[in-house]
Each structure stands twice: as C-alpha cells, then as structure tokens.
Amino acid sequence: MINYGLGFLVAVCLFALGYYIGATEYEGAFTGVTWTDIGTLFVTFFGFAFGFLTYFQWQSGKRKEDAYSAAKHYVAALDEVDEHLHELLFQYNHICPASGVVLEGKDASSKRFEHLNSLWHYLYEARHNLHKAYRELSFWHVKLSHESAKDYNQTLTLLSDISVVCSALNNQLFQLISNDAGGTSGVAREKERFDELYNELHQIAQRRVQHGFKAMFRFGG
C-alpha cells in the first residue's frame, strides 16, 4: 500500500508541474496570479500528498500490529491448553491408584473427581479457543511455518485421543469411587494411555518453546 501512496505523490507532482507549464503558456489567462498564490498551491498539494502517504503508512503499520497480535493470541491459546492438561495430569496422579500412591478417602476422591469434570470442561473451551485463534491467523495474513503447522495438526489429533481416553478413565474412576473397592486394572490402563498422550503433547510444547516465536509464523503483506 505504501507503493500506492508513492505513486499518488508522483502523480500530484506531475499534475502540479503540468499546471505550472500550462500557466506559463497561457499566462494571459492567469493575469493577477502571484508567485505567492502559486507557492500556496504547491504547499497545499504537497501537504495533501504527505497526509495521504502518512495515512497509508499508518494503515500498513496497523495491519502488521494486528497480525502480530493474532499470532500472540494463537500462542496464548496453546499455552491455555497446556495449562489445563498439566492440571489434569496432576489431579489424575493423585486420584488414580498406583504403586507408591496413598489412596485418598472417599470424600476427598469425590471432590477431586468433581474438580476433574470442571477441568475437562475448561479444556474443551480451551480447544475451542485454539481453533478460533488458528482461524484468525489467515484473516490477518499470518501463516504457520511448516513445522508449526504439523505440530498444530498433531496437537488436534492428540487432544481428540485424550478426549476419548479421559472419558473412559473418568468412567472407571467413578465406578471405583462409587463402589469404594473393586478392580483397578481398567483405571491403570487408561491412566497409562493418558500419560503417553500427555507426554507427546508436552514434547510439542517444549519444541515450541525451544524454537521461539519467530520460527512459528510467516507474516504476509
């Protein structure tokens, strides 16, 4: 857009030059016109052209700022997903029976289970926010780098798998807490699968941190 502004400025200069040449060829038609008038005309034209060019420069800068904000919003959405996953892992580590883990009482486990359900709702919202943030990137002419795009698609797949695993794990935990006894093999199996998926997502997050912000995005015009 700055090129358009420069083109407009050149056009104004050519118009002013043509006006001056015409005025010299038909100076009789401009009797009474002083050099002050001509100077004022030039100042007016150049002032308008400068304002026009300044506006396009501001507009271009504003678009870059909005694109940068969209990219930061996308990173923030990824961080939100990571935070909820980490909290889920923490809660599962305390409620799922495992070697060396002291089981909580039924009341404590019930409260923790309710918190797990709330966390799952928060994670669902975070996934929705991530999808929205990703769609906004293209609107502001921002693209993910090749590796970041692969990480995004892999993240969606892993989150979908975690959704299935958590549903099964929560069902197993509910049965275990309600019966206050019973087998724990189902819980252990689903918890192991959750840990595997969480570790894969954590590796993606670590890779993102190592590569940094600039390596994630490609900003267009």
Give me the tens of pLDDT residue by residue for the chain, a chain 221 residues long.
445 445 555 555 555 545 554 545 444 544 555 656 556 656 666 666 556 566 455 455 566 788 899 999 999 999 999 999 999 999 999 888 876 666 677 788 888 888 998 998 999 999 999 999 999 999 989 999 999 999 999 999 999 999 999 999 998 888 888 875 555 778 889 999 999 999 999 999 999 999 999 999 999 75
If you ran DSSP here, which 8-state letter would residue 99 be given? T
If you ran DSSP here, which 8-state letter would residue 32 be given? T
Torsion of CA 56, 58, 63, 65, to 10 degrees: 160
* Cα gap 68→73, rounded to integer Å: 9
Sign of the Cα torsion 34, 38, 43, 45 reads positive
**Does the pTM exceed 0.75?**
no
Angle at 63 between CA 58 and CA 65, to 5 degrees: 95
Quick check: helix, strand or coil at residue 217? strand
